[in-house]
Structure 1
Amino acid sequence: MYKSKEKIIDFLENFELDKIPKSVILEAKRAVLDTTGCMIAGIDTPLGEGLHKLSHRFEDKNGVTVLGRKIPISPFMAAMCNSYMANAHDADDGHRRSRLHAGGIIIPAALAVAEETRSTGKAFLEAVIIGFELGHRAGMVTTTWETYHGSAMGSTFGAAAASGRLLGLSSEQIINAMGIAEMQAPNCMLMGWIEAKKIPMVKEGMGWSAASGIMSAYMAQSGITGTLTIFKSDEKLSEIEKLGENFEISHRYYKPHPGCRWTHVPLQTLQTLMADKAINPEDVEKITIRTLTKAANLDDPSPSTMEDAQYSIPFVIAATLVDGEFGPGQMTFEKLHDPKILAVARKICIEAAPEFDKFFPGLIKNQVRVTTKQGNRFSAQSQKVKGDENFPLSDREIKNKFTWLSRNRLEKGQAQSIIDDIWSLEEQPDINRLIASFQAMTDK
């Protein structure tokens, strides 16, 4: 622990936005914009509506903003609500080595504390990057292929570090906050509800992770102690040794579609086939998809909720084939009961391919085979997924995704204003300029 403690202290005390690569700063802005779009898209979902009802219990005239709601609430609960909304469509970012969707946790936590403390845009960006660097490393040492904790476990450490930075805690206090987070981070065993094929709205415990991160920082600020132990072995310490040199924030992926990332691989393979072959949904006899062993659990052909649909390869593939695209417009109750989509979904067979497992998390291999009633057979394989580090979304695509996700709440000019504010965050003297843009779209 002592070696890791010394390294973390050195990283925190020498961390300044002006000293880090511009590419890292840009990646932080991309992450903030992407997460903000996901939060806005989550406002009008059943989960978002439930969170707005819940938020009335925590009204605080000195509190902070929940997107889509006029009355402020406590920062602790605002972070929880915004974080869950960020994951409502499952369109938020990810990081393979740590298995975390850290942006949807760390950014809502940092945003709540930044609003509370009236931080500068520069301080907010610094906190976000610190949160990602420590959160991703926590995820890398706590989650394995065999023990899949979900995003909440590792990201809580990052949320605590980001919150502590914005609260002005010393480096020792931030480590203490991370030690407290170690005791109260949500420990969600992800594969349990995937295998049960009943996906909860609060999947991966993300909102509570954001809230726990802030509370850990508050507790450390109040003199309560914790002990950080997760980096105790030499192997785990090696991840901390790279702090400030290898920025994990630069190794993340962004989703061009909503839904579990494991559904995107066959989706994009199918799109390749559709671009090359004229495939009429009514002519399909059978579609066979070979994928990772654990991804093969995502085989429900008739999901009953939006969350179930996000974890259903047959639904995602069928909706893409019928509608020609897959976005928030396909994640609706109407689409869940669309007879054309359901008819195709029932013709989709998911097969586990254990030989693909050894390439994960570096690559996600898959194969899609389509057989038509006319006897035609089309097949394609892929291992690159749009949005991954080796096949990234451009800045324009990230901005277009934000506009696309926020279109039900923002006019084009409003969306562009938020994009501009986020792209110039380091120049903003007060984060509340950005917050004011969020508040302008509220109607609740």
Structure 2
Amino acid sequence: MAHNPQTNTFSRVADFTLTRAASDMPESALEAAALMMLDTMGVLIASGPMQAGVIARDTAALLYASTDPSYGARMLFDGRTVSMAGAAYAAATQTDNLDGHDGYNPTKGHIGVVVLPALAALAEHCPNLTGPEALAAVVAGYEVAGRAGLSLHASVSDYHTSGAWNALGVVAMAARLRGLSADQMRQAMGIAEYHGPRSQMMREIANPTMLHDGSGWGAMVGLSAAVLAERGFTGAPAITIEAEEVTPYWNDLGTFWQVEHQYVKPYPICRWAHAAIDGVRAVMIAHDLTSAQIEALHINSFHQAACLFAGLPETTSQAQYSLPFAVAVQAVYGRIGVEHISGSGLSDPAVANLMSRITVAESEHHSVRFPEGRWADVTIRTTDGRVLKSGDIHARGGPEAPMTRDDVIAKYTQFAAPVLGQDRADRIRQVILGWPDKSARYADLTPLIFDPPEP
């Protein structure tokens, strides 16, 4: 591929990725990037003790280490040194297995889950990285990954997991922070797209496991591709960037900022279930209901939501790809926390009892609005004979019904403080939210993110 001239679209992507300074990005985009990194950090921290994260970190230590310190990186909240690709793999796999991280409606997938791990791994070798330049790399990751996702969904028939396309966002970050040339970045994009995990999302929905959204492999492929290209390895052109038919998805790069339009999840559950959860939450608050007053509960939602796991989950993976279970937890406890989707929470008798009174149906009315929207409506019949309806509900957290900045900060604290303690969690928050300041240094975060949590 090296001898082929760069296409106009790739030249635009390379110019944006490699030369657009933080000072030439909107302050709103940098602020959004910092908030997304805080939100993702909270999910990463909360997922650390979970089985999938432990396995991923141990496996990275076994299989994905480096013999050269200049390519090594410490694993987050673990401290063991592996390769940069191994560290990013472990952190992204860990985060992906607590389904509370951000996403982008049009891509039907997730970006921050690879951006934060990639940033942490790459920054190990950028000692002078400023806060604004760290955020500029984050923005590049979001903007490139999101458009690659749109391009892939528009050009292939299968619904692929996020790892298939968010790997290209990782390449963009690596190219920027490691000083790759435009041609090296082009080779890396081709390598990452070729090897990106084009796994079928609906297979995971039908049989929930620790595979989740493929983002661990996306992070590892993206960083591996960048290092390969840096050392002279070549790749075929990335068709999600360079094919003529996907050009429209890249025309607004640098003018429309996708990072400002991510959704934040109020619950650590697949977002396809969130509209139904929100509907039940709204009806119960409006009518001051308890779960004991629910005689029957019916949910109408879009096709993909109706395909979510229907039974009583045996694993955290099944619980996070649930619909009746998640709705029942919300109805019984008024919230959904990590404790509800793991351990004894999976066999909670009060939740199981309510699930037996919940029914789910697909509604074409809601299906035609997916993926731009995540809609549902809920009907509750009470023990005293009332029939209460939510009307059409759109999932909270996205541009249509955003969580406030304070909401996102509160969510981060709820996830991070029980694992790290309030003081350490607060210091991490202060550093990340301070990155937009011109005097901020990324290195201020370093002492806070590698030591394991105290028992």
Which TM class, normalised by the smaller chain length?
Answer: over 0.9
* Paired residues of 2:127 and 2:443 also in contact (CA < 8 A): yes
Q: In structure 1, what is the Cα distance between the partners aligned to 2:181 and 2:427?
A: 35
Structure 2 partner of 1:159? 170
Q: Is residue 369 of structure 2 the alignment partner of residue 364 of structure 1? A: no
Structure 1 partner of 2:359? 349
The verdict on how the C-alpha distance between 1:299 and 1:5 changes in structure 2, with shifts beyond 3 A counting, is: closer
Structure 2 partner of 1:21? 26
Q: In structure 2, what is the Cα distance between the partners aligned to 1:85 and 1:428?
A: 32
Structure 2 partner of 1:439? 450
* Paired residues of 2:434 and 2:440 also in contact (CA < 8 A): no
Choose the corresponding residue for 1:32, options 23, 34, 37.
Answer: 37
Q: Is residue 424 of structure 2 the alignment partner of residue 419 of structure 1? A: no
* Paired residues of 1:366 and 1:382 also in contact (CA < 8 A): yes
Q: In structure 1, what is the Cα distance between the partners aligned to 2:263 and 2:128?
A: 28
Choose the corresponding residue for 2:117, options 96, 108, 125.
Answer: 108
Task: Point out the more displaced range, 304-313 or 108-117.
Answer: 108-117
Q: Which amino acid aligns with 2:211?
A: V
How far did 1:287 drift? Answer: 1.0
Structure 2 partner of 1:290? 300
Q: Which amino acid aligns with 2:343?
A: F
Deviation readout 1:118-146 (Å, 9 max, x if unpaired): 35133322211111111100000112596
Q: Is residue 231 of structure 2 the alignment partner of residue 222 of structure 1? A: yes
1:5-154 map, 5 Å: 5-57=10-62, 58=64, 62=69, 63-120=72-129, 121-143=131-153, 147-154=158-165
Q: In structure 1, what is the Cα distance between the partners aligned to 2:184 and 2:439?
A: 27
Structure 1 partner of 2:3? none
Q: In structure 2, what is the Cα distance between the partners aligned to 1:231 and 1:102?
A: 17
Q: In structure 1, what is the Cα distance between the partners aligned to 2:454 and 2:125?
A: 22
Task: Point out the more displaced range, 38-47 or 52-61.
Answer: 52-61
What secondary structure does 2:110 align onto?
Answer: coil
Deviation readout 1:183-226 (Å, 9 max, x if unpaired): 1101110011212xx21112111111101000010011011111
Q: Is residue 387 of structure 2 the alignment partner of residue 377 of structure 1? A: yes
Q: Which amino acid aligns with 1:332?
A: S
* Paired residues of 2:33 and 2:138 also in contact (CA < 8 A): yes
The verdict on how the C-alpha distance between 1:12 and 1:50 changes in structure 2, with shifts beyond 3 A counting, is: closer
Q: Which amino acid aligns with 2:189?
A: M
What secondary structure does 2:296 align onto?
Answer: strand
How far did 1:415 drift? Answer: 1.5
The verdict on how the C-alpha distance between 1:111 and 1:348 changes in structure 2, with shifts beyond 3 A counting, is: same
What secondary structure does 2:299 align onto?
Answer: strand
Q: Is residue 329 of structure 2 the alignment partner of residue 324 of structure 1? A: no
Q: Which amino acid aligns with 1:346?
A: S
Q: In structure 2, what is the Cα distance between the partners aligned to 1:9 and 1:311?
A: 37
* Paired residues of 1:48 and 1:85 also in contact (CA < 8 A): yes
Deviation readout 1:125-178 (Å, 9 max, x if unpaired): 221111111110000011259621021111011011111211110122212211
* Paired residues of 1:150 and 1:189 also in contact (CA < 8 A): yes
* Paired residues of 1:161 and 1:175 also in contact (CA < 8 A): no
What secondary structure does 2:359 align onto?
Answer: strand
How far did 1:433 drift? Answer: 2.5
How far did 1:354 drift? Answer: 1.6
* Paired residues of 1:67 and 1:442 also in contact (CA < 8 A): no
Q: In structure 1, what is the Cα distance between the partners aligned to 2:90 and 2:128?
A: 21
How far did 1:48 drift? Answer: 1.7
* Paired residues of 1:47 and 1:201 also in contact (CA < 8 A): yes
* Paired residues of 1:75 and 1:116 also in contact (CA < 8 A): no
Q: In structure 1, what is the Cα distance between the partners aligned to 2:357 and 2:401?
A: 30
How far did 1:230 drift? Answer: 1.9
Q: In structure 1, what is the Cα distance between the partners aligned to 2:53 and 2:415?
A: 14
* Paired residues of 1:37 and 1:405 also in contact (CA < 8 A): yes
Choose the corresponding residue for 2:396, options 376, 380, 386.
Answer: 386
What secondary structure does 2:198 align onto?
Answer: coil
What secondary structure does 1:259 align onto?
Answer: coil
The verdict on how the C-alpha distance between 1:365 and 1:70 changes in structure 2, with shifts beyond 3 A counting, is: closer
The verdict on how the C-alpha distance between 1:72 and 1:443 changes in structure 2, with shifts beyond 3 A counting, is: farther
Structure 2 partner of 1:194? 205
* Paired residues of 1:299 and 1:350 also in contact (CA < 8 A): no
* Paired residues of 1:28 and 1:125 also in contact (CA < 8 A): yes
* Paired residues of 1:12 and 1:171 also in contact (CA < 8 A): no
Same amino acid, percent of matched pairs: 26
What secondary structure does 1:83 align onto?
Answer: helix
* Paired residues of 2:30 and 2:132 also in contact (CA < 8 A): no
Q: Which runs of 5+ in 2 are unaligned?
A: 1-5
Deviation readout 1:61-105 (Å, 9 max, x if unpaired): 933221231322211111001111212210000001112211001
The verdict on how the C-alpha distance between 1:139 and 1:119 changes in structure 2, with shifts beyond 3 A counting, is: farther
Q: In structure 2, what is the Cα distance between the partners aligned to 1:64 and 1:14?
A: 26
Q: In structure 2, what is the Cα distance between the partners aligned to 1:59 and 1:220?
A: 19
How far did 1:392 drift? Answer: 1.4
Structure 1 partner of 2:286? 276
Q: In structure 1, what is the Cα distance between the partners aligned to 2:167 and 2:182?
A: 17
Task: Point out the more displaced range, 278-287 or 128-137.
Answer: 278-287
Structure 2 partner of 1:178? 189
Aligned length: 442
Q: Which amino acid aligns with 2:42?
A: G
Q: Which amino acid aligns with 1:125?
A: L
Instruction: Provide the TM-score with structure 2 as the length reference.
Output: 0.92
Q: In structure 1, what is the Cα distance between the partners aligned to 2:238 and 2:279?
A: 43
Q: In structure 1, what is the Cα distance between the partners aligned to 2:79 and 2:233?
A: 33
Q: In structure 2, what is the Cα distance between the partners aligned to 1:189 and 1:411?
A: 38
Q: In structure 1, what is the Cα distance between the partners aligned to 2:139 and 2:221?
A: 19
Task: Point out the more displaced range, 57-66 or 104-113.
Answer: 57-66
How far did 1:429 drift? Answer: 6.5
How far did 1:59 drift? Answer: 5.2
* Paired residues of 2:148 and 2:165 also in contact (CA < 8 A): yes
